[in-house]
Structure 1
């Protein structure tokens, strides 16, 4: 029986994740202790999102939960405590952010936080938090008209990957004289063990207890899988190996790993590592 083998929530877009034993599933993505996946995002002075694609040192910014704060740390820097209490939506400073083609209202975190992230990443930047009154719909082109929203993810609230898919890629890397890669190179929220390699590509749904997820779009991969999440440096690069068999015509030939998914049923239900998953195939 397929099982849920890993849960990871990324509080700050493009920074390190929180490995969890259980999490709450919402229409906006995973949530734990009132922290949502990709609820925060680092932006430049024009509000444009910063990612590891251009700033691989972001991988070294590691969050931890500590009571009523989200603490972040980076090499050579003191820890920074970010309050978890939501700001007053009527009086808190705001800024307009841009995530790819979407313009999103966000809370503007304070100057001390901006200074910390500027030093950690090495470019002028600020930390933005998804605003309580903001909404960011996903592309209905891929959801067959089903309405869904996300926060600061690239496009969809939940990313699912199969453990055997990584095993398959690693076998090809080793055969080519390369080192195998950990799953964190691909930054999924949920990892499924016990299914065939890339079987997640052909699933119609994943049922985890009361939670029903619908995979809607293959996840095109940018250069981020080439970034070592432990060092913040590029290499080794799996993209040339993926080019040989992971180009998907339905997304204009992009190299894909994992499936973007939306929540169909089970809002605010908990899922846990080791829980059985019913995978229904689309044929």
Structure 2
């Protein structure tokens, strides 16, 4: 992402965050003779009163932004921790010297020991990179995600599945939520690695072929997919709600293990058991073929 594009992203992000802040005061009654109405008119909503720091950033002046300024902006614009981190990443990217293209976050190599960890888990688990490419699974995850994984994309990409495969709207019972998370995750990664040409190609392709993705991308929302509950509709066993956790791997920057587990008291215990029984003998390979993994390429 060129520096000028980063500055544009900063401007759009700040204006989009300010626009979402509701007016804090009721509309003022105007009266030429009423001093109180003049004072009331001066108290505009936060969305109409950009701070000096915000205006400065929107104009492309990104130098010398301290932690104190960031904290002040975050408070004024009511940013959460994820949004503040995103803004800081954009500012760092805009201030960084010219960067050559990189593939940071799009690694496709999964160590054998990680596959062993997946195989030892009783829940469904897979490894993905920051581009949302699925690089390795255990058998239960492959059974759960069979529609997303069994396609011509290698490695399979969850964002492409969500926005380009009509089956995704049936598979994810909260499709709107997973679509929001997918776009937010990619936008967060785009700010973190502005020279990532593979990620830029992925985003351009999604925006070209999906109006829904393009609309959500333009909203400038950011998200971390960390933990919560995902509501699925599996084609073989029906509805099932699973708890998920996304565990970043410090030894492999850019890689994350995503696990899906079920509480012993869950109402979906019988469905989960049927899902386990549905694991077919001779399932498809759990990871890309070695030639792909060693090439360093990414979809």
TM-score range, shorter chain: under 0.3
Q: Which has the higher helix share?
A: 2
TM-score, with normalisation over the residues of structure 1? 0.24
With a CA cutoff of 8 Å and minimum separation of 6, indicate the structure with the bigger relative contact order.
Answer: 1
Looking at secondary structure, tell me which structure has more strand per residue.
1
User: Which has the larger Rg?
Assistant: 2
TM-score by length of structure 2 reads 0.23
